[in-house]
Amino acid sequence: MDDKKLIGIDLGGTTTKFAIITPAGEVQQRWSIETDILEDGQHIIPNIIDSINHHLDLYQMKSEQFIGIGMGSPGSVDLAAGTVSGAYNLNWEGTVYPKRDIEAATHIDFKIDNDANVAALGERWQGAGDNDPDVTFVTLGTGVGGGVIADGHLLHGVAGSAGELGHITVQPGGYLCTCGKRGCLEQYASATGVVHIARDMAEEYSGDAQLKFMVDDGQDVSSKTVFDLAKDNDPLASKVVDRVCFYLGLALANVGNMLNPKYIVIGGGVSAAGDILLNGVQKYFEENTFPNVRHTTALRLATLGNEAGVIGAASLVLQDQQE
Amino acid sequence: MDDKKLIGIDLGGTTTKFAIITPAGEVQQRWSIETDILEDGQHIIPNIIDSINHHLDLYQMKSEQFIGIGMGSPGSVDLAAGTVSGAYNLNWEGTVYPKRDIEAATHIDFKIDNDANVAALGERWQGAGDNDPDVTFVTLGTGVGGGVIADGHLLHGVAGSAGELGHITVQPGGYLCTCGKRGCLEQYASATGVVHIARDMAEEYSGDAQLKFMVDDGQDVSSKTVFDLAKDNDPLASKVVDRVCFYLGLALANVGNMLNPKYIVIGGGVSAAGDILLNGVQKYFEENTFPNVRHTTALRLATLGNEAGVIGAASLVLQDQQE
């Protein structure tokens, strides 16, 4: 088995990434294709199959040389059945059968989990998580997702919603979330949440600040704009970042208080802001954790970036063997 | 192994409870002794050993007839070493060696974990948790404790603090906790927390209410007083209970959002209030969970009462065998 390989697939709304990885986590080959979501996304799985078979030909490899294929997918994933439903950004309205179809066409064992869980496994295995048995991952992108590995197990809960850190209530009665409830972390710490806070604070802000000028002037303001201005000590942008860090710090403190992981790893596009985010969150994390957690649970920025998905997806195959 | 038995010990600050239990969870014998915390608690372990050996003689049983002994203890427990440190309510200032001493004197394998974790295991196994792999337990007593069983594993985290639900921050900057930080659930949902809220709300309350009269009159007001008055529709007591339920509902909603357990079981003395507590908490739980969790994670009152500890302690022996 030692010279057998893994295939990791990170299925996203615009790109599908692939990698061939050793059981030790070394990425040997990487490629990607566009995700063709036209015609109800019916080409997505056939395109994945074609791409795998094409690359195995290219590298002169056979299915017997692989322990398995792991994939991360948007939507609601049924692990046992290997199916996905309600992946609206792929135009998959009904239930799709990646495991059945990919196993039949490649003759390689196939495992699947949701995209945030898979990224959590990746960061835990080869990234900032140091392969520790207790790692929580939060990803700050257009939305906020996450995954919890506790005592070496990726948690799913009774209905697959464990690790949905984006819906932690950080402000009861606060901003309305797409999930229908109010005050979700996602509304305060995603890229859109940062901009939402910026616009609301700009409206009330009476001082002189570049961020206020840009908002009032109708210019495009992104999460990156806000963090960049804060790095330049723009007074309003600094207040916005502080607010974002307060909510994220509170949510992650409560992750710490409940789970006491070794690391809480912060990834996703918003985390590219780097130390200004990490240091701000650290302050509120410390304020809201009790001493033993404050001293033993560490916050870290993710290190794998885009590769977390394929690496973590590949590791699904190994996780399964360990249990 | 099938006719071998387990011994469960629930070591508390005033009483130490014992039970002989079958591997199927049936309690066959129960007894208890006073916990003698005098002289730095040095008599506690010898008394436990004497009591076990005395009862084995009484029941004409031998050490070979037992799979193991499990114990729940206050303080900070080192599972692997089988030691306890900082159990101040037992007057144990330094490190104590229950595993070493009890195994040497009884010739029966010994496992230990902290008291709230052990109660969680008990309620999960034989109580309201229906032996599901995903159960979170919160106990509302003088303080607030808890335990998390996820994917069939009792979680400890990197430094033993997983499941410390009493220190979830529910009100940033709120009441000061004995742990040194502010806004801990324990300050709002323990027996003392309920009274604290009652006194603060009574001070601001201008209407006519029995609870206000009692507080102003300097009468003894307990958590039970507050819930009993609320059941009789005392307007202030109802507001206090609603406040308690808001904080507990928010905390448990976030347990749900992070872990999506099948059941969150509410135990401890305060939970004796029953449906008035459960229904109040349910309202805020629903307000603060996202739909998939709201529909799949259920709140329940504990059913084992005082027996949760000995039953869960005994199950430590079985847990260990499963892993």
List pLDDT tens digits, range B62-74. 999 999 999 999 9
Q: Which of A182, A257, A296 sits opposite B167 (nearest CB)?
A: A257
- What mean pLDDT is predicted for residues A84-99? 91
Q: Which amino acid is at A161?
A: S
Number of H helices, E strands in chain A: 12, 13
In chain B, which stretches have pLDDT less than 70? 1-2, 320-323
Partners of A77 on chain B (C-beta within 8 Å) are: none
Cα–Cα nearest to A318, from A119, A111, A11: A111
pLDDT at B319: 78
Partners of B164 on chain A (C-beta within 8 Å) are: 257-258, 260, 290, 292-293
Whether A321 shows a pLDDT value over 60: the answer reads no
Inter-chain touch B161–A290, beta carbons under 8 Å: yes
Task: Sketch the domain layout of chain B as residue ranges.
Answer: 5-121+307-322, 131-303
Name the CATH superfamily, with its identifier, for domain A5-121+307-322. Answer: ATPase, nucleotide binding domain (3.30.420.40)
DSSP symbols for B237-296: HHHHHHHHHHHHHHHHHHHHHHH--SEEEEESGGGGGTHHHHHHHHHHHHHTS-HHHHHH
pLDDT at A89: 87
Burial of A204 by CB count in 10 Å (0-12 exposed, 13-18 middle, 19+ buried)? exposed
In this structure, how many other beta carbons lie within 10 angstroms of the beta carbon of residue A192? 17
Q: How confident is the model at residue A2 (pLDDT cuts 50, 70, 90)?
A: low
Q: Which residue of B has its CA nearest to A291?
A: B179
Partners of A153 on chain B (C-beta within 8 Å) are: 150-151, 153
Partners of B184 on chain A (C-beta within 8 Å) are: 290
pLDDT at B11: 96
Tally A–B CB contacts below 8 A.
Answer: 179
Partners of B156 on chain A (C-beta within 8 Å) are: 151, 260
Using alpha carbons only, what angle is made at residue A245 by residues A74 and B157, rounded to the nearest 5 degrees? 70
- What mean pLDDT is predicted for residues A305-318? 95
On whether the CB atoms of residues B155 and B169 are closer than 8 A, the answer is no
Domains A5-121+307-322 and A130-303 share a fold: yes
On whether the CB atoms of residues B257 and A164 are closer than 8 A, the answer is yes
Rounded to the nearest angstrom, the gap between the alpha carbon of residue A130 and the centroid of all alpha carbons in its chain is 17
Q: Which of B162, B180, B250 sits opposite A259 (nearest CB)?
A: B162
Rounded to the nearest angstrom, the gap between the alpha carbon of residue B163 and the centroid of all alpha carbons in its chain is 10
On whether the CB atoms of residues B265 and B100 are closer than 8 A, the answer is no
Whether A257 shows a pLDDT value over 60: the answer reads yes
pLDDT at B323: 43
Partners of B260 on chain A (C-beta within 8 Å) are: 156-162, 164
What digits encode the pLDDT tens for the residues B106-156? 999 999 999 999 999 999 999 999 999 999 999 999 999 999 999 999 999
Whether A323 shows a pLDDT value over 50: the answer reads no
ipTM summary value: 0.94
Inter-chain touch A159–B132, beta carbons under 8 Å: no
Q: CA B43 to CA B66: how far, in whole Å?
A: 24
On whether the CB atoms of residues A189 and A247 are closer than 8 A, the answer is yes
Inter-chain touch A258–B259, beta carbons under 8 Å: yes
* Cα separation of the two ends of chain B: 17
What digits encode the pLDDT tens for the residues A72-83? 999 889 999 999
Q: CA B95 to CA B49: how far, in whole Å?
A: 18
- Strands A110-114 and A66-73, by their bridges, are parallel
Q: Which residue of A has its CA nearest to B261?
A: A157
Partners of A295 on chain B (C-beta within 8 Å) are: 159
Name the CATH superfamily, with its identifier, for domain A130-303. Answer: ATPase, nucleotide binding domain (3.30.420.40)
What average pLDDT is seen over chain A? 95
pLDDT at A87: 87
Shortest Cα–Cα distance, B256 to chain A (Å): 8
Q: Which of B134, B157, B169 sits opposite A261 (nearest CB)?
A: B157
B131-303 topology per CATH? Nucleotidyltransferase; domain 5 (3.30.420)
Instruction: Give the tokens for residue B128.
Output: 């309201």
List C-alpha distances in Å: A301 to A123, A247, A295.
Answer: 10, 17, 18
If you ran DSSP here, which 8-state letter would residue A142 be given?
S
Q: CA A167 to CA A155: how far, in whole Å?
A: 16
- How many Cα atoms occupy the beta-carbon half-sphere of B190 within 13 Å? 21
pLDDT at A317: 95
Q: Which residue of B has its CA nearest to A297?
A: B158
Q: CA A257 to CA B233: how far, in whole Å?
A: 35
Supply the angle between the helices B115-126 and B308-322 in degrees, to the nearest 10: 80
What digits encode the pLDDT tens for the residues A193-209? 999 999 999 999 999 99
